[in-house]
């Protein structure tokens, strides 16, 4: 490893295990990432870093923590049969599967023109995404947006939830905290918990997503489509 590279990875080394740092390094070697440039978010399950590619485009790099006990507890409900098998054998491989799932579901959504950050690649527990924001400043979460057109934003979100379901996916962690407001549109992020339509709890998760979104917009005085009516509209169009 070149000295410059190891300096760039020094911040990662403070938080992550050796194999995660090696994964980050392999993305640099493959020229997907040029360098890391600060932290965007530190969650219980992951950290999100700002990075640059070789053409100076900004990236959001989400790194899942392999050592988080909270993550380990919370993950089970959202795994499919294969994921559960991995989980019971080796937690690390379940985290890799989780990261792969987030990438694949984001890709399906992106290809269906749903507003999500473009997924660029993934490896092990690292997911590389298009950065949403301007001048290096990340787009705000919907919860922190005040002077916006709520009616229009709600309509876009209803459409996106519906389209996503038509693609066979339920987000399962949807709320004003997992939506970024970018270029006057809502973007769905954080697909780690998302499940396929055939997951045993998919419809329960869909109804919960609908309730969360409706609650937020009701508080913003939008005349929302009632929870069960919207659920019907999405599941039995």
- Interaction site with ligand ATP (CB under 6 A): 40-41, 43-46, 48, 60, 62, 117, 129-133, 138-139, 141, 178, 189-190
Nearer to ligand ATP by C-beta: 122 or 230?
A: 122
Binding string, 132-151, against Mg ion, x = CB under 5 A?
A: --------------------
* Active site (annotated) includes residue 135: no
| 209: annotated active-site residue | no
Residue 40 binding result from Mg ion, ligand ATP, none, given CB thresholds of 5 to 8 Å by partner type: ligand ATP
Does the footprint of Mg ion cover residue 160 (CB under 5 A)? no
224 vs 86, 166, 216, 230, CA distance in Å?
40, 21, 10, 9
**What's the alpha-carbon Rg for the chain, to the nearest Å?**
18
Q: In the beta sheet, which residues pair with residue 61?
A: 49, 128
Which residue in 102, 160, 190, 209 binds Mg ion (CB under 5 A)?
Answer: 190
Residues between 198 and 227 with contacts to Mg ion, criterion CB under 5 A: none
Catalytic residue among 5, 53, 111, 190: 190
Residue with Cβ nearer ligand ATP (195 or 224): 195
Least distance (Å) between residue 114 CB and ligand ATP? 14
**Residue 99 partner contact from Mg ion, ligand ATP, none using kind-dependent CB cut-offs of 5 to 8 Å:** none
User: Using CA atoms, how far apart are residues 37 and 107, in angstroms rounded to an integer?
Assistant: 25
Nearest C-alpha neighbor of 130 from the set 183, 177, 196, 92 = 183
| Half-sphere exposure of residue 122: CA atoms within 13 angstroms, side-chain side | 23
Which residues fall within 8 angstroms of residue 10, CB to CB, at 6 or more apart?
A: none
Q: How many residues bind Mg ion (CB under 5 A)?
A: 2
Per DSSP, helices labelled H in the chain are 3-8, 10-15, 18-29, 69-75, 81-89, 91-111, 150-166, 202-219, 227-235
Which positions touch Mg ion (CB under 5 A)?
178, 190
Active site residues: 173, 190
């Amino acid at each position: 490893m070149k000295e410059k590279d190891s300096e760039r990875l020094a911040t990662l080394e403070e938080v992550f295990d050796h194999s995660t740092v090696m994964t980050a390094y392999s993305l640099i070697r493959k020229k997907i990432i040029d360098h890391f440039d600060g932290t965007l978010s530190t969650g219980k399950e992951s950290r999100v870093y700002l990075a640059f590619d070789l053409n100076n485009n900004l990236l959001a790099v989400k790194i899942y923590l392999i050592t988080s006990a909270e993550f380990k507890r919370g993950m089970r409900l959202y795994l499919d049969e294969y994921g559960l098998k991995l989980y019971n054998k080796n937690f690390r491989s379940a985290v890799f599967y989780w990261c792969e799932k987030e990438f694949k579901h984001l890709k399906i959504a992106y290809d269906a023109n749903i507003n999500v950050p473009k997924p660029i690649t993934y490896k092990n527990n690292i997911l590389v995404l298009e950065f949403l924001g301007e001048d290096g400043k990340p787009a705000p979460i919907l919860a922190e947006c005040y002077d916006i057109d709520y009616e229009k934003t709600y309509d876009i979100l209803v459409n996106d939830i519906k389209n996503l379901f038509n693609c066979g996916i339920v987000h399962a962690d949807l709320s004003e905290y997992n939506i970024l407001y970018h270029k006057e549109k809502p973007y769905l992020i954080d697909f780690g918990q998302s499940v396929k339509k055939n997951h045993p709890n998919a419809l329960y998760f869909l109804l919960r997503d609908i309730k969360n979104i409706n609650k937020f917009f009701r508080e913003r005085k939008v005349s929302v489509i009632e929870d069960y009516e919207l659920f019907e509209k999405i599941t039995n169009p």
